Structure 1
Amino acid sequence: MLTLADVEAAQFRTKTYVRRTPMLEGDPQPKGRIWLKAEFLQRCGVFKTRGAFNRQLAARERGELDPKLGVVAASGGNAGLANAFVAAQLGVPATVFVPATAPEIKVDRLRQYGATVRLIGSEYAEAFTAAQDFVANTGALFCHAYDQPEIAAGAGVIGLEILEDLPGVDTIVLAVGGGGLYAGIATVAASAGVRVVAVEPTNIPTLHAALQAGRPSDVTVAGIAADSLGARQIGRVAFDVAIQTSPVSVLVEDDDIDAARNLLWNDYRIPAEHGAAAALAALTSGVYRPDDGENVAVIVCGANTDLSTIGPTSRTVSTF
């Protein structure tokens, strides 16, 4: 079980390698107050850099990171980017398996970071299987996209920063794919009595389905956020945390994700990817409604996106 001590150790281990991202107060709301945790400003443009640093640095401390074999990752894009970036920083090679459907902008950046890119299948699960075979044959260090305690602990440092910068926070809203971000944040939030709202696309309800079934179970992977939230099932680390912490689990439609993404650009000039905008969509769509006076932190977790796909720049009034 992931612990608060694991997250605190990750904060200490990675503090000189990652950015402490700011909290931006949202526009005035009719009820509670909203802050945006600007994790899209993290190195590599995504929260996953934190877990990648924690995983690779911890492995190096234990003598498990071979400088010749390096690391292997499977990813729809962002986890691969983060691990390739970290590997380059630490001077080791990286091989990244991604679905052939991954956005070209992410594949190009993987190559810019010096990674060997292998395009496999049409979704994350197929890339994951190929990466596992590669690890078995080479002995390189496997860096999971979400389901390793060190990966989740690194992401959980975001929660520590939120509690430090916004001591009166009542609720943290975040998007869920495979659950690494959720596991880390929920572990921190539980220690402080803070509510966590776990937001998923209706098309990829990994956590929601697992909570209903009482175990991780496969779901279909589809929709506009599949490149970053496209895990076929919730990770075991996240599921174990969810059983202990009982999140508020909500689902949002693709149209609502798209609208929230456009709002982030139109009102704040934040170029969020669809997966990152899913968190805000819980508020803008009304599937989660804050109480009067509730202080809500929304994690905007990534900005590795094609700007040409963001909608019109006419202003949207951000009351939710």
Structure 2
Amino acid sequence: MVTREEVEAAYSRTAGWVRHTPVLESGTAEPYHLWFKLEYMQHTGTFKARGAFNRLLTAKENGWLNPHAGVVVASGGNAGLANAYAASKLGVPATVFVPESAPANKVHKLYAIGARVVQGGSEYAEAYAAALEFAEEKGAVYCHAYDQPEIVAGAGGVGLELLDQLPDVDTILVAVGGGGLVGGIAAATQGSARVVGVEPETAPTLHAALAAGEPVDVPVSGVAADSLGARRVGTICFDVARRTGVQSVLVSDDAIIKARRKLWESYRIIVEHGAAAAYAALLTGAYAPRDGETVAVVLCGANTDPAQL
């Protein structure tokens, strides 16, 4: 379980290591007030830098961080980028296991940061198993992509910043894959704002877990699978979601594609499909704000190919 107190501690610990990302008012003539949290402007183009720094700084404080073995992570891209970047800033090596399906642009960025990349297997689960074996053999600090207390608490800094920037925010829309971000934000904002998780119809991890009463495996496919491709929501996210009353809504691939294109056409914002999912909930009515409601959409990542717009 992750609490607001843990999020606040993580936010203090990572101050000076991560960016304070801005918010942007939509300027549209809707009966509600819409803002975007521009978290895609975070280091490495994704919110995951927050959790990565919190995990590694905590490990360093506790003497877990072997300067020779460094850190290891299994990731289709974004978590690998974040942890490799954090490791480089702390002066330790990073090994990243990725499936063969990992987007080429993200793999190239991993190499550019200086990570050792091990690519193999068709799915994240295979990369995950290989990373755990590496951590055991080499003594590297394992950084889970979304289901570790330090990772979730670090991601929750997005929620703390939003409360500071928009004290009257009523609802926060957040894309969900493994659930690290939505879990962190829900923990940070409990009692202050409603949190709605938005998921592709083709990867409904939180939606299925809430319906089943526990995390369950789901089939994964679709345009956002490179960033929202977890087969099972994290246990931390699930526990926080139940405790705080997080809602879950689903959107189609077509809606995600249209939302991504509209962000570019209306705001000149380029995000990956996973990040656009949160905005798609508004465009489709999957989440319908009441009149006068203040809504914040978290745009959580921009590691994408602009040519695909």
**TM-score tier after normalising by the smaller chain length:** over 0.9
TM-score, length of structure 1 as denominator length: 0.95
**Could you tell me how far apart the structure 2 residues matched to 1:120 and 1:174 are?**
30
1:35 aligned onto 2:35? yes
**Could you tell me how far apart the structure 2 residues matched to 1:109 and 1:173 are?**
28
CA deviation string 1:149-182 (max 9, x = no partner): 1001111001000000101100000000000001
**Could you tell me how far apart the structure 1 residues matched to 2:201 and 2:13 are?**
36
**Could you tell me how far apart the structure 1 residues matched to 2:125 and 2:202 are?**
16
AA aligned to 2:25 is: E
What does residue 255 of structure 1 align with?
A: 254
Q: Percent identity?
A: 60
- Matched-pair contact (CA < 8 Å) for 1:38–1:301: yes
What does residue 71 of structure 2 align with?
A: 71
- Matched-pair contact (CA < 8 Å) for 1:120–1:130: no
What does residue 132 of structure 1 align with?
A: 132
- Matched-pair contact (CA < 8 Å) for 1:206–1:233: yes
- Matched-pair contact (CA < 8 Å) for 2:10–2:157: yes
Q: Aligned residue pairs: how many?
A: 309
AA aligned to 2:115 is: A
DSSP 3-state at the match of 1:181: helix
DSSP 3-state at the match of 1:291: coil
What does residue 285 of structure 1 align with?
A: 284
What does residue 307 of structure 1 align with?
A: 306
AA aligned to 1:24 is: L
Of the structure 1 ranges 101-110 and 123-132, higher mean CA displacement relative to structure 2 is found in 123-132
DSSP 3-state at the match of 2:8: helix
CA shift, 1:191, in A, is: 3.5
CA shift, 1:27, in A, is: 2.5
Structure 2: segments with no counterpart, 5+ residues: none
**Could you tell me how far apart the structure 2 residues matched to 1:191 and 1:66 are?**
39
**Could you tell me how far apart the structure 1 residues matched to 2:108 and 2:160 are?**
33
Matches within 5 A, 1:88-167: 88-167=88-167
CA shift, 1:232, in A, is: 0.7
CA shift, 1:189, in A, is: 1.8
Matches within 5 A, 1:155-304: 155-192=155-192, 194-304=193-303
AA aligned to 2:112 is: Q
Name the CA shift for 1:123/1:27 in 2 (closer, same or farther; >3 Å).
Answer: farther
CA shift, 1:134, in A, is: 1.2
CA shift, 1:286, in A, is: 1.1
TM-score, length of structure 2 as denominator length: 0.99
AA aligned to 2:297 is: V
Structure 1: segments with no counterpart, 5+ residues: 311-320
CA shift, 1:280, in A, is: 0.3
1:81 aligned onto 2:81? yes
DSSP 3-state at the match of 1:263: helix
**Could you tell me how far apart the structure 2 residues matched to 1:126 and 1:68 are?**
25
- Matched-pair contact (CA < 8 Å) for 1:4–1:191: no
- Matched-pair contact (CA < 8 Å) for 2:250–2:286: yes
CA deviation string 1:19-63 (max 9, x = no partner): 100010013232101000000111111000000000000100001
**Could you tell me how far apart the structure 2 residues matched to 1:191 and 1:3 are?**
12
- Report the aligned-residue RMSD: 0.8
- Matched-pair contact (CA < 8 Å) for 1:40–1:46: yes
AA aligned to 1:256 is: A
AA aligned to 1:124 is: Y
**Could you tell me how far apart the structure 2 residues matched to 1:29 and 1:248 are?**
26
**Could you tell me how far apart the structure 2 residues matched to 1:30 and 1:78 are?**
33
Name the CA shift for 1:28/1:56 in 2 (closer, same or farther; >3 Å).
Answer: same
DSSP 3-state at the match of 1:133: helix
CA shift, 1:190, in A, is: 1.0
AA aligned to 2:10 is: A
**Could you tell me how far apart the structure 1 residues matched to 2:183 and 2:50 are?**
14
- Matched-pair contact (CA < 8 Å) for 2:4–2:189: no
CA shift, 1:205, in A, is: 0.4
**Could you tell me how far apart the structure 2 residues matched to 1:271 and 1:111 are?**
23
CA shift, 1:100, in A, is: 0.6
AA aligned to 1:203 is: T
DSSP 3-state at the match of 1:24: strand
Structure 1 runs (4+) greater than 4 angstroms displaced? none
DSSP 3-state at the match of 1:234: coil
AA aligned to 2:298 is: I
DSSP 3-state at the match of 2:117: strand
